Chain A
Amino acid sequence: VCTSRFWFNYRHVANTLSVYRSVKRLGIPDSHIVLMLADDMACNPRNPKPATVFSHKNMELNVYGDDVEVDYRSYEVTVENFLRVLTGRIPPSTPRSKRLLSDDRSNILIYMTGHGGNGFLKFQDSEEITNVELADAFEQMWQKRRYNELLFIIDTCQGASMYERFYSPNIMALASSQVGEDSLSHQPDLGIGVHLMDRYTFYVLEFLEEIHPASQTNMNDLFQVCPKSLCVSTPGHRTDLFQRDPQNVLITDFFGSVRKVEITTETISLDRNLADFESK
């Protein structure tokens, strides 16, 4: 979810699209991704390279590409829609791609980025979502067993305040900075004229680029990403609500999709001729 609009918030859109791209590369299909963006970067009149969104100064990687499916764009990215998607209280006319159809065996990854403060996250310069609302929404998801395990990553200023209030089980949270600190952006690009990425997400992405679908890296490695020397802010994490030890949790449990598979050993025997009879 990218909660900002306007040209100078280019980096938030680039953050979200980069995470989207990594998640797709590790195997999660579009039908399982709900992407909320204010989709105004690629075709913005101020973009010197139209139809592209870059994540790195040397313009190596166009994260906008051909394969981006934005489910909620522009003015549809509101607190109300976000909470509706999470809790499932959606008007019946909403199409399948805009819904979160998860059940009690689904692992959910939520990534949010934008401008935030102590206890809230700003949505598109006009509204806010507070950490209490978010915690209540997660609790309603838990009551309805809409998730098995949930990983919440937030890259904003004072991000750790957003996960302080969670009280439902099986949630793990990561934030790019503690309360009172600001998350900083990574590098400006002189050609495009704005900052391209935020530091925390940049280093997380470098980490994710080395993961492939069969990899066995676990969450403890993700916690080590972006130490203070590189990130200037102190990333934080919260694992007390999580039942498994983070050491045993694979990155691909959330970022990729590795399914349980069983070999089919039984067959039933169908009678060809009898079937002929029945259809007449």
Chain B
Amino acid sequence: FQLAIPVTVIFTPESVPGDLPRPLPFRDVQEMEISVNLRTSITSRYEMFYRSTTAQEEVALDAATAQEADVALHPLQDTSFGSLMVFVVPETSSLLPEGISVYVGKHRIALVRAGASLAALRTRLRQLTQVMSFTASSIATALSDRVPDGQLGPDAGRHLKSSLGYEITFSLLNPDPKSHAVEWDIEDAVSRYVQPVLDKLSLVANFSVDSQIQYYAVLGVKPRFDKESSSFLLSAHSLPHVINPVEARLGSSAASLYPVLNFLLYIPERSHSPLYIQDRDEAPVSTNAFHSPRWGGIMIYNVEAPASPQTSLPLRVNVDMVRVMEVFLAQLRLLFGLSREALPPEFLLESPGNEGLADWELDRLLWAHTVENIATVSTTLTSLAQLLDQIGNIVIKDDVASEVYRAVAAAQSAMAELATGDLHSAFQASKEAVTSSERAFFDPSLLHLLYFPDDQKYAIYIPLFLPVAVPILLSLAKIVREARQRKKEPTKVD
């Protein structure tokens, strides 16, 4: 496995370090090896290209803040998937706020302070490239079935597996329709806030979105009443039991086979309002939401009690979709594994805004999914070959064979593209390889039902043929004896 990442490092005139090995511009390659298990290892090649700024870029870098510089620089560059651009600004530049030495923008551009020496710059660059593309642990997670047990961190089973499509379902749970008549403008919220994120992710997979409202659906757990805050509390260890009773009522589309992500919004009953979630330290959670890896998320939306006790029930409630979508989209990011992992404090990551994820985060996903897809293809095809070795009398239809060839060709081209750094086409090729290999492996015609152990063969066929064989053999013997006697008789008579 070889993964190549093109990185361009651009120096402003004031920030060129004195001890560069060669004058600008020049190229350099750094390789790093990640070994997953005894037989698999990944080499990552960072192809670095160092140059100095062009006039247009200098103008853009004259901006007041880093955000504006990012916005100005973006149209000047042509960054394809997987590549990175790093601008090195002088140590004393005011572009980056105090105490921050690295700024990562929404697209694939980062701003780095020059640092005291070349070595310090190199360290920062290495950290930065790892953040923006992939780390050893994220690749190991993607290849999780090859890593020996015990070496994976707790993250391993968390992220969604790479799949060709996902189904997202938004559900509103209203256990108390007599008190709350809830309306949520889900269609509008989906088209405004969710669709842009899904559009950005559409390269990764197909998404389909549904929504539903469930009445009289209750949580399985009784919350405690807390006198001090006069609210109801759900403690962290009762949360795992909340999902199951609810899930029984959530439908899912019968035709689609894609994994389903459920996002639930729960409006507590009037008698249990307000309801807050406590984390393990008994502190209330600010988002009032929790999620379950590979399943989805739940948010609790508290309705304010009416000012006067004589207001007629049911209360009309209009759900604030922005607050809700902020949480759901954050949960969606976490489910995909796009969390802002622990970074050194001098890094500042730009928030992705309404698009939901930055370009380099999309790259991270693509790297992980491509590697995972290729690994899956090789495991699938190997086990298919082993199956055929073991059971000799399976018939392989022509279309199954052609799918296998196609899968192999696509996997090979994906690996070649990865080695040259073309992430986009590598990902497409890996998707095609996975589709073909899954279709070949799971073809219904490959079911071997006929298992004939030797003793069954004897047990079945001997009782059938032996009684028939006895008179045949005897009469054969008789014929042979008679023929021999006839041959002897002429000599005897004469």
B305 is an interface residue with CB less than 8 A from chain A? no
Interface string of A268-280 (1 = CB under 8 A from B): 1111101110110
Tell me the smallest distance from the CB of A22 to a CB of chain B, in Å.
14
Tell me the smallest distance from the CB of A258 to a CB of chain B, in Å.
5
What residues of B have a CB within 8 angstroms of the CB of A240 in the complex? none
B157 and A105 within 8 A (CB) = yes
B383 and A140 within 8 A (CB) = yes
A31 is an interface residue with CB less than 8 A from chain B? yes
B387 and A267 within 8 A (CB) = no
A228 is an interface residue with CB less than 8 A from chain B? no
B193 and A261 within 8 A (CB) = no
A31-B252, A96-B256, A105-B157 known; A265 and B353 CB under 8 Å?
Answer: no
A270 and B161 within 8 A (CB) = no
Which single residue of chain B is at the shortest CB-CB distance from A256?
A: B244
B29 is an interface residue with CB less than 8 A from chain A? no
A274 and B330 within 8 A (CB) = no
What residues of A have a CB within 8 angstroms of the CB of B243 in the complex? 259, 261
B175 is an interface residue with CB less than 8 A from chain A? no
Q: How many residues of A contact B (CB 8 A)?
A: 54
A185 is an interface residue with CB less than 8 A from chain B? no
A132 and B453 within 8 A (CB) = yes
B354 and A265 within 8 A (CB) = no
B334 and A264 within 8 A (CB) = yes
A97 to B193: give the CA distance in the assembly, Å: 32
Size range of the chain B interface in the assembly: 35 or more
Interface string of A48-83 (1 = CB under 8 A from B): 000000000000000000000000000000011001
- Label chain A's interface by main secondary structure: loop
Which single residue of chain A is at the shortest CB-CB distance from B246?
A: A29
Tell me the smallest distance from the CB of B12 to a CB of chain A, in Å.
31
B383 and A144 within 8 A (CB) = yes
B291 and A95 within 8 A (CB) = no
CB contacts under 8 Å to B, within A89-116, are 89-91, 95-97, 99, 101, 103-105
- Label chain B's interface by main secondary structure: mixed
Tell me the smallest distance from the CB of A164 to a CB of chain B, in Å.
14
A190 is an interface residue with CB less than 8 A from chain B? no
What residues of B have a CB within 8 angstroms of the CB of A95 in the complex? 254-255
Q: Select one of B236, B248, B441, B449 contacting A263, CB under 8 A.
A: B236
B245 is an interface residue with CB less than 8 A from chain A? yes
A260 to B252: give the CA distance in the assembly, Å: 21
Which of B37-45, B56-64, B319-327, B475-483 lies at the interface? B319-327
B293 is an interface residue with CB less than 8 A from chain A? yes
Interface string of A214-246 (1 = CB under 8 A from B): 100000000000000000000000000001000
A28 to B321: give the CA distance in the assembly, Å: 31
A91 to B331: give the CA distance in the assembly, Å: 35
Q: List 17 A-B contacts (CB under 8 A).
A: A30-B248, A80-B447, A88-B442, A104-B157, A130-B453, A133-B451, A143-B386, A144-B383, A144-B441, A213-B244, A261-B243, A264-B290, A264-B299, A264-B334, A265-B287, A274-B353, A278-B196
Binding site for B on A (CB under 8 A): 27-31, 79-80, 83-84, 87-91, 95-97, 99, 101, 103-105, 130, 132-133, 136, 140, 143-145, 213-214, 243, 257-272, 274-276, 278-279
The 10 residue pairs across chains A and B that have the minimum distance between CB atoms: A143-B383, A27-B244, A29-B248, A264-B289, A261-B239, A267-B326, A267-B330, A105-B157, A259-B292, A275-B192
